[in-house]
Amino acid sequence: MNDYVDFKSISSILHGYSPNGKRVTLDFRLERYMIVLYAALHLPIFEQYKKRDGKNEGFTLYSLEGVANNLGYDFDRSKTSKKIYKEQKKERKVGIKKIGNKTIYMLTKKGNSYCEKCIKHLLEA
């Protein structure tokens, strides 16, 4: 896991299509946004997108959109992403911090674990 190819291979599933191209009725929007954040944190190719503030490191919505585009994932940085990450903060899966006039998003241990389970499950599908 944590391989760029793995993230690309689950793209169709996260967009509502089975590996053989058939439409599925399940909505993987939450998983898609969480996995974008996970990929940003764990793949070295996205290191340049990271924002740091002491021990905290995370990503702006703008940089997460770049990560998603690179992976071939849909990502709405205006409404949907803010809503999902705010909900996941309540679930203690995402941390949100203001650095100056920028808001950065990071995964908690619980969020990290959640994403790893999702990715494993999707790769087995």
Per-residue pLDDT tens, the chain, 125 aa: give them. Answer: 556 667 777 887 777 777 677 777 677 888 999 999 999 988 888 887 777 666 667 899 999 999 999 888 889 888 899 999 999 999 999 999 988 888 999 999 999 999 999 888 888 86
Strands (DSSP E) along the chain, which ranges? 51-53, 56-58, 94-99, 102-107
Q: Tens of pLDDT along 54-89?
A: 666 789 999 999 999 988 888 988 889 999 999 999
Q: What is the pLDDT of residue 48?
A: 76
- What pTM was estimated for this model as a whole? 0.86
Type of residue found at 73 = Y
Q: What is the pLDDT of residue 47?
A: 80
Neighbours of 26 (CB within 10 A): 9
Q: What is the pLDDT of residue 53?
A: 64
The rounded radius of gyration (Å) of the Cα atoms in the chain is 14
Nearest to 61 by CA among 29, 33, 28: 33
